[in-house]
Amino acid sequence: RVRLAAGLGLGLLLVVVVAAAGIRLEIGTGVLRLIHRAAASLEVIVVLWLGWMAWRARATRPVLWRGSLVAIGLTAFLSMLGIAAGQNPPPAAAAANLLGGLALAAVFAWLLGRIDGGSRATRLALGSLVGVLLAVQLLLGARLAIGRSQISSG
């Protein structure tokens, strides 16, 4: 169940990041805002579920407990930031949201790698996934920066 929760958390976070990128690129913003909100809300439920399971196993699995506390803290931070910043966040809030989301993805990937010792194949797959996510994030960031510089200079 813990593996399922961490996997769901990572998958939902990917949906949130892709939807947020689409919103920033102004591609189907109405539908993407709905998808973003739904995935982020489900993410909160998954993090709470993970925290509940980790709390029950805190004596026997302290690493899981600590990881879930970090996930809960990051989720609370991202939730408050999203509410406070609104639909058109200033650049600092957008950057904090992006970095917080990447940190949360890293926590889920770390938990998946640590659950039940994590096989070499699992660690390799997670490392590859994180590398791909980072590359996509860099490309999206570059695309957004280029788009904004063209808007401000045009």
Q: Are 70 and 107 in contact (CB under 8 A)?
A: yes
pLDDT of residue 153: 55
pLDDT of residue 144: 64
Instruction: Specify burial of residue 141 (Cβ count, 10 A radius: 0-12, 13-18, 19+).
Output: middle
pLDDT of residue 93: 83
Q: Are 3 and 115 in contact (CB under 8 A)?
A: yes
Please tell me whether the overall predicted TM-score, pTM, comes out greater than 0.95 for this model.
no
Q: Which amino acid is at 107?
A: V
The list of the chain residues with pLDDT below 70 reads 116-119, 121-123, 126, 137, 141-154
Instruction: Specify burial of residue 12 (Cβ count, 10 A radius: 0-12, 13-18, 19+).
Output: buried
Cα–chain center distance at 64 = 18
d(CA 134, CA 151): 26
Element (H, E) at 85: helix 62-85
What does the block give as tokens for 34? 């709905």
pLDDT of residue 151: 52
DSSP letter for 1, please. -
d(CA 39, CA 15): 7
pLDDT of residue 28: 77
